[in-house]
A and B are shown apart, each in its own frame.
Chain A
């Protein structure tokens, strides 16, 4: 199998005057989790539709698992699983019948499909309720079942559009664990869209940020954080007056210093140590109770990218 699961080059698709996907070029290595981040209507779902061959691009090209999306869409869909914008469950059918149907679609042998259905439903804690009509279930339970459906036939690549929407924190954590395990142990590639940035930070090997159809950045989560301003130090205490802030800003290792909610937030440049800054604060008469070192979150990086491109 190729080491690149998804490769796009100048992929574009418009609907009338709206450029839903505009010149998107990216590579997703096999066996990794790729997070596709962007605000509503930024082109995430259209990109998935293009990659599945459900829509044809106006310009550019894409290969998925080595197959061209224009010419070999059937081969792509044969080897992938997809949870799209909606859960896509048949609400009049039971959970077991929903999975049974898709197991038949993927031509799984009768003995295997029953085992696999039981395995997945048991793993997700839904086995006891397998005979109930899905329409009577909560949104979170439906979402779990929809995720199970995408994994049913053990595809090489899984597209997940907002998979943890509606899941409780425990179920979300379990799903993240499952995705990591699928990628690490079974070499499955996961293409994930999400608004949940801590989730993307926790599971994704690589993230792409898209806005108005244009890909703004592709990097590892830590790479994106570095772009957003590197390390930060939060100092809890008192006495952070304007003179102290001004003195801090003149230091070469300090990018910015600001008081927020009574605490002092110092943005650092490079890898200089923090101790000299703490000494300076003490010598300036500040009372210091706690110093917390940290990096900019992925959320901060995402927001910074959005602001920069607005």
Chain B
């Protein structure tokens, strides 16, 4: 299966590199924003703040959202899906190949943004000493951004499987993402001041290690759930009829 999935990755990567119109420049724009602009704004505190970890997760999701809609909806829209399904590739190798491309792309660009951000901060605010992410934070952001990319690509593939066009898939994913962001923000604001203080106090009392382990466990469980649903939903006959 690995050989088959890598054939799909090869094709997806070549299509990404061939690009279409302005889409070709999207990764450069995203890396410029997350890897240069935001770190320069943050200055020295970029390397040892919680926000860097949080931003790493956000970047990986944005990177996924920029391409995941195209995975199946794009094949359907360009009438290449049926030919792909008529090939010898198994359902699983197609699914794994498509998701692996999205995850490698998103996670790779997230890591690139963080590395470029480190250099940008050192150039602007290093003051002669080399600023570095603390090891615990570096590990946390590397692991969590990978798991977040897998989760986002799993959800994105589910949407892309059902959407008839790339645009429709993109709209559904954007609306979903905005809805989750607003729900979290307003949910927190909707809490009583006492509860908010309590929650923040509890949050601050957690060590980075405990927090990281907790988030990682939750993300792994969510990833597994979404991957199982993806595997169940990916059925040749249903895709042909759609």
Interface residues of A (CB under 8 A from B): 15, 49, 52-56, 74, 77-78, 82-93, 97, 101-102, 104-107, 133, 149
Contact = CB atoms under 8 A, between A and B. Distances in A.
A93 B15 contact: yes
Question: Across chains A and B, which 9 residue pairs bring their CB atoms closest together, nearest first?
Answer: A88-B83, A86-B79, A104-B7, A92-B18, A82-B86, A101-B11, A78-B88, A77-B88, A88-B80
Contacts of A88: 79-80, 82-84
Nearest to A15: B241
B210 interface: no
Q: Is the interface of A mostly helix, strand, loop or mixed?
A: loop
Interface string B220-241: 0000000000000000110011
Which of B3, B11, B83, B241 has most A Cβ within 10 Å? B83
A89 B236 contact: no
Given A133-B18, A149-B83, 17 more contacts: A49-B240, A54-B86, A54-B237, A54-B240, A56-B237, A74-B90, A83-B83, A84-B83, A87-B83, A88-B79, A88-B80, A90-B15, A93-B15, A97-B11, A101-B10, A104-B11, A106-B88
Nearest to A104: B7
Contacts of A107: 3-4
9 contacts: A49-B240, A78-B88, A82-B86, A89-B80, A90-B15, A92-B15, A97-B14, A104-B10, A107-B4
A58 to B, nearest CB: 12
A106 B90 CA distance: 12
Contacts of B88: 74, 77-78, 105-106
B3 A93 contact: no
A77 B86 contact: yes
B38 interface: no
A28 to B, nearest CB: 18
B78 interface: yes
Contact of A84 (B10, B20, B82, B90): B82
Contact of B4 (A54, A89, A90, A105): A105
Given A49-B240, A88-B82, A102 B15 contact: no
Nearest to A88: B83
A169 to B, nearest CB: 26
A112 B89 CA distance: 20
Which of B86, B89, B240 has most A Cβ within 10 Å? B86
Nearest to A79: B88
